[in-house]
Amino acid sequence: MANKVDVKELLDAGVHFGHLTRRWNPNMAPYIYMERNGIHIINLYKSAAKMQEAGDALAKIAASGRKILFVATKKQAKEIVAEQAEKANMPYITERWPGGMLTNFVTIRKAVKKMASIDRMKKDGTFNSLSKKERLQVDRLRAKLEKNLGSISDMSRLPAALFVVDTTREHIAIKEAHKLNIPIFAMVDTNSDPREVDYLIPSNDDASKSISKVVSYVADSIVEGLSERKSEKSTKKKEEKASKEEKSDKAPKEKKEKKAEVPSKDAEDKKAMKEAKNDVKLESKSETLDKAKASNEEE
């Protein structure tokens, strides 16, 4: 369960400021509180409710162990999104959106692997065997790949969800997510279409304070989901360990069968056994009868 949102904090961060009234999208009407000085004012109570709804959904996704891709290429959002995504241990895109990032994910993964192969070349000494010009070209390629794809190097499969700042600017990412049915969470300003998003947060997506407030709340919700997953794993391990111990205690202890004594194979032992048998040798029936007759005659 995500933390509750304080409306006063949203007000202080300027989340309520929308765009000019002439640039509005009519589909945002339900989330607009009023108009002041030619600017639309967003209803912060609705923003708070939507933030909490989005936070709960993102926490569940994080708890399931899947990745959430953060997307924000506008200047005032880059550093904030990169910092918060790293805190939540999630991939992010803050430079130009690579075309086909989602729809052609296999090719993007090849580019990421290229980056890893260059690193291996530097470690095993292959890089030093190249000419000066080739080394320079490889370094430039590595820097370019790091800038555009370095933040998604750990993303081995498609993300479970997208979190976008400014849907109008990131329209290509939105279209690709729609094609693959990936749920979209986004900060939606009064000039954007809320119908393109599955979980919208009506908010000012231009001011850095507003972006910081919303994105930090989202990142905290994801961290909460990850910690919940970690605690569930540890409790599950403890339960499995306890059940194994119970089974081992309940299992009937097998009685040890007495092993039959095996005759000794030692020569001296055999000799001693033979002598003992001769000493206690039983008389035959005829010998016993003869002794009995002799004793009767003597009497």
Decide: helix, strand or coil at residue 39.
strand
Task: Reply yes or no on whether the pLDDT at 181 is more than 70.
Answer: yes
Mean pLDDT of the chain: 84
Query: Phi, psi (5° rounding) for residue 216?
Result: -65, -35
pLDDT digits (tens, 9 = 90+) for 112-123: 888 888 888 888
Instruction: Specify which residues 199 forms β-bridges with.
Output: 185
Question: Comparing 49-53, 69-73, 146-150, 233-237, which segment has the lowest mean pLDDT?
Answer: 233-237
- The pLDDT of 186-198, averaged and rounded, is 93
Q: How far apart are CA 22 and CA 5, in angstroms?
A: 30
Residue 100 is predicted with a pLDDT of: 87
pLDDT-derived band at 177 (thresholds 50, 70, 90) equals very high
46 pLDDT tier (thresholds 50, 70, 90): very high
Confidence of residue 91 (pLDDT cuts 50, 70, 90): very high
Please give the pLDDT value at position 145.
Answer: 84
pLDDT at 4: 81
Region 123-144 average pLDDT: 86
Question: What's the Cα-to-Cα distance from 181 to each of 4, 23, 178, 232, rounded to whole Å?
Answer: 29, 29, 5, 29
Percent of the chain with pLDDT strictly greater than 70: 82
User: Residue 126's pLDDT is what?
Assistant: 84
**Domains of the chain as residue ranges with CATH:** 7-102+158-232 (3.40.50.10490), 103-154 (1.10.287.610)
How far, in Å, are 19, 67, 179, 262 from residue 109 at the CA level? 38, 15, 19, 70
CA distance 78 to 70: 10
Task: Look at residue 53 in the predicted model and tell me its pLDDT.
Answer: 93
Cβ atoms of 217 and 82 closer than 8 Å:
no
- Evaluate if residue 282 carries a pLDDT over 80: no
Q: How far is CA 250 from CA 239, 240, 243, 245, 256, in A?
A: 16, 15, 11, 9, 18
pLDDT surpassing 70 at residue 254: no
Kindly report the pTM of this predicted structure: 0.74
Residue 248 has pLDDT above 80, yes or no: no
Element (H, E) at 163: strand 161-165
Q: How far apart are CA 55 and CA 170, in angstroms?
A: 21
Q: What integer pLDDT is reported at residue 252 of this predicted model? A: 57
pLDDT(197) > 90: yes
pLDDT, residue 147, reads 83
- What is the reported pLDDT for 277? 61
CA distances from 106 to 23, 92, 122, 155, 233 (A): 39, 18, 25, 12, 31
